[in-house]
Structure 1
Amino acid sequence: MNPYQHKKRWKYLLLFFAIIIATSSLWYTDFLVKGISKSERTRAEVWSQSLKKLFATDNDEMMNYLFTVKDSLIVPAIVTDDKDSITVYTALDTTKTYYKIEKDKIYDPRYFQRQLRIMKSQHDAIVIEMNGKKNYVYYKDSDLLSQLRVFPYVQLSVIAFFLLIAYTTFNSSRRAEQNQVWVGLAKETAHQLGTPISSLMAWIELLKDKFNAERDPLILQMEHDVRRLEIVADRFSKIGSMPILTNHPIYQTIKDYVDYFSIRVSDKIEFTVTGDEQQEALINIPLFDWVIENILKNAVNAIDGKGKISVNIIENIVKEQIFVDITDTGKGIPKSKFEAVFQPGFTTRKRGWGLGLSLTKRIVENYHNGQIFVKESEIGKGTTFRIIIKSSLNYVPTIK
């Protein structure tokens, strides 16, 4: 399993456990709410019956007992007659049942009607008979029960917000540390390559002089490869620094690299480059060559045996952009993986590191302020990557 898939599996596993924890919390809270709600219903029924008995007895001791029971089981309740007129109420907010006009307290019917609507929406009425007539007892949830209903959602929201902030902070810190390590490693690699490359160039010059082989094709290829090593070292030295973007003929830049690359892979793969040869783009050649190299390598790996790789350069005059479409006739990429292929660690090869396209995206977006994405792909037929870069000298890049 490659690192990207391993990390993805862990994310799904953690998400699964988070859902289990959240679901368990909500289920247990719902269990408690139902239990308390049932208890309050029982209290409301006992209160209703005690109220009924009070209206039906003249015994003072019994009345005192019923008052004690009724008051101990008090819930916010309203009793109405069969015409929906309020006859009795209890445990409502005494600061809102009346409003003051100067020194007088005036009954506020709007408050009672609002409370009655709430009670009707929450619970079915309890029917009791008093004085030979049917009365209806309505009650509402206690403050404790109302708070308990929303508590788990508030709790989970606070925990989720805290975890999001913590994840963002730690992830940002971890990425900053990783970037520092990679930048340091890249620059040290460039520094270490400098000495042997200079030595190789010197040995090639000695071979030319000793054997009078200025035009020997083998030595010329060796020289070409050493110069490529110089370019690679230069690429690594530029990581983490602001690159200088200058106008270059984009067609010739790509064509030169494709010519170099094509003779170093299977001759069963055909390469073509098309586009306006005079069109210029704002690029840094060593870094942009790296972009083309990574995409071509992926294209070659995707082709099983014979195939074609084509590069088409298109100008968008309106937006001062240049599109570079690189198409292969390889295996293709599932649509679900269009974004994933640019993630660090994503690879379909057993010994791949999964860093090529991730690095390519960084170079295009951060250093050239462009875009790169999978334009289209079909399994078994091939893939097209599109690179969008600037063609205007007025553009000033910024590192993210």
Structure 2
Amino acid sequence: MNFSPKNKTTNIFLVIGSFIVVSLILWNTNSFFKTFKEEERLKMEIWATAQSEFLQSAEDVDLGSLHLKVFQNNTSTPMILINKDSSIRTNNIPSELATDSLYISKKLQQFQDENVPISIDQQGEHLATLYYGNSEVLNKLKFYPIALLLIILLFGAVIYFLFKTNKASEQNKLWAGMAKETAHQIGTPLSSLLGWNELLKTENISTDITKEIEKDIARLQTITERFSKIGSLPKLDASDIVIETRNAYDYLKRRSSKLIHFSFNSKVDNAQVLLNRSLYNWTIENLVKNGIDAMKGKGSIAIEIVPNGKHVNILVADTGHGIPKSSFNTIFNPGVTTKKRGWGLGLSLVKRIIEEYHNGKIKVLSSGKEGTIMQITLKVHQ
């Protein structure tokens, strides 16, 4: 099912058409219900007429046989007949309940709510009052529109779920394709830079310069490796979470403004976690850089590692302006950002790396005017 803007008009017609079909089905069902109810009413009036004639007739066998046939034909509609002497006669009501006065009283009220009672008179004399309820078939038909609506809603939910799944799959393919293409595009000038750096080494150039170039080349190679792994299942190795987190921390600390105060604390020793080092470091870098952006380049970044049973929590805190509570869940969706400038891709990428590749969890632990704390939870490798 294609819901692209190109087919927007078609989709609108499909929705309108579906609404019309559902409306016609409901209208037709309601009409059928009313017709069936009127037929039951007519049947009860015939029964009441036969009862009136029976009460007034002499001992006539043929007449009695006709009445008996009318009485016996009613096998589905429950009813209660109250004679003028207050005696009660029931039909299609369980015999064990027919003598229960409380049950009969409740049924009389129910029947009176469902249908107008029929007064049985003969030549101006009141003989009895007939109370009757809806037959089992009519009761089932009454709930048919509700069942139909539930089925339609369920069907709509399934279609919506399939559409969302298909859309997410298309987004994932787009992500993977863009990432791999980026890695491919970076690879060509990177190879050229390696060659140029080797050439510079043969010239009378300070080794400090070539070493710095090598560091930048190594950084580009790391970025290329990260992008190349998006869209494919990366290899995970048992790694010390403290060491890997500190490596990312140290790298960012050396390259950040002196106006940023960094702190690192770990309450865990040698916790082995299945990691892809390159992607995990990318995650920490994204969270720290988001924090620096939120602080506008001035404030404190704190990274803390704490045990959590069979898991370990990595907390990244900043002193930025915070995230609205209403955005705690949506902030990880592609395109959602609290920055004036930004694509809203960093946190969605972080979520993918942590939850899909490392089977972990990431969430906004807390956020306010004092800053934001992001929490990563990973399982300790036994």
Matched to 1:197, the amino acid is L
Matched to 1:312, the amino acid is E
* Cα distance, 1:243 vs structure 2: 2.5
* Cα distance, 1:277 vs structure 2: 8.4
Matched to 2:252, the amino acid is F
Given that 2:48 and 2:118 are in contact with CA atoms closer than 8 Å, whether structure 1 keeps it comes out as no
The aligned residue for residue 245 of structure 1 is 236
Partner Cα separation in structure 1 for residue 380 and residue 196 of structure 2: 41
* Cα distance, 1:33 vs structure 2: 9.2
Q: Deviations over 1:255-308 (max 9, x none)?
A: 332333345444432222222585343222110011112211221222245321
The aligned residue for residue 270 of structure 2 is 279
Given that 2:80 and 2:108 are in contact with CA atoms closer than 8 Å, whether structure 1 keeps it comes out as no
Matches within 5 A, 1:1-400: 43=42, 50=49, 54=53, 55=55, 76=77, 77-81=79-83, 83-86=86-89, 109-110=95-96, 120=108, 122-124=110-112, 125-128=117-120, 135-142=128-135, 145-216=138-209, 219-275=210-266, 279-282=270-273, 283-304=275-296, 306-316=298-308, 318-319=309-310, 321-378=311-368, 380-392=369-381, 394=382
* Cα distance, 1:35 vs structure 2: 6.1
* Cα distance, 1:328 vs structure 2: 1.0
Report the 3-state secondary structure (helix = DSSP H, G, I; strand = E; otherwise coil) of the residue aligned with 1:109.
coil
Matched to 1:122, the amino acid is Q
Matched to 2:95, the amino acid is P
Given that 2:240 and 2:272 are in contact with CA atoms closer than 8 Å, whether structure 1 keeps it comes out as yes
* Cα distance, 1:174 vs structure 2: 3.9
Q: Comparing 27-36 with 74-83, which one deviates more in the overlay?
A: 27-36
Given that 1:374 and 1:384 are in contact with CA atoms closer than 8 Å, whether structure 2 keeps it comes out as yes
The aligned residue for residue 8 of structure 2 is none
Q: Deviations over 1:327-346 (max 9, x none)?
A: 11112223332221112222
Q: 1:121 to 1:32 in 2, by over 3 A?
A: farther
Q: 1:57 to 1:167 in 2, by over 3 A?
A: same
Given that 1:118 and 1:140 are in contact with CA atoms closer than 8 Å, whether structure 2 keeps it comes out as no
Given that 1:29 and 1:149 are in contact with CA atoms closer than 8 Å, whether structure 2 keeps it comes out as no
* Cα distance, 1:310 vs structure 2: 0.6
Partner Cα separation in structure 2 for residue 196 and residue 291 of structure 1: 25
Given that 2:119 and 2:126 are in contact with CA atoms closer than 8 Å, whether structure 1 keeps it comes out as no
Partner Cα separation in structure 2 for residue 40 and residue 374 of structure 1: 64
Q: Comparing 349-358 with 261-270, which one deviates more in the overlay?
A: 261-270
Q: 1:271 to 1:242 in 2, by over 3 A?
A: same
Bigger relative CO (Cα 8 Å, ≥ 6 apart):
1
Partner Cα separation in structure 2 for residue 84 and residue 309 of structure 1: 88
Q: 1:276 to 1:49 in 2, by over 3 A?
A: closer
Given that 1:364 and 1:370 are in contact with CA atoms closer than 8 Å, whether structure 2 keeps it comes out as yes
Given that 2:361 and 2:376 are in contact with CA atoms closer than 8 Å, whether structure 1 keeps it comes out as yes
Aligned residues: 348
* Cα distance, 1:234 vs structure 2: 0.5
Q: Deviations over 1:141-175 (max 9, x none)?
A: 25664244211111112112222333333433443
The aligned residue for residue 102 of structure 1 is none
Matched to 1:261, the amino acid is L
Q: Comparing 186-195 with 176-185, which one deviates more in the overlay?
A: 176-185
Partner Cα separation in structure 2 for residue 26 and residue 84 of structure 1: 45
Partner Cα separation in structure 2 for residue 356 and residue 273 of structure 1: 22
Q: Deviations over 1:227-256 (max 9, x none)?
A: 111111101222233333334343343333
Report the 3-state secondary structure (helix = DSSP H, G, I; strand = E; otherwise coil) of the residue aligned with 2:373.
strand
Q: Comparing 152-161 with 187-196, which one deviates more in the overlay?
A: 187-196
Matched to 2:325, the amino acid is K
Q: Comparing 281-290 with 164-173, which one deviates more in the overlay?
A: 164-173
TM value normalised by structure 2: 0.73
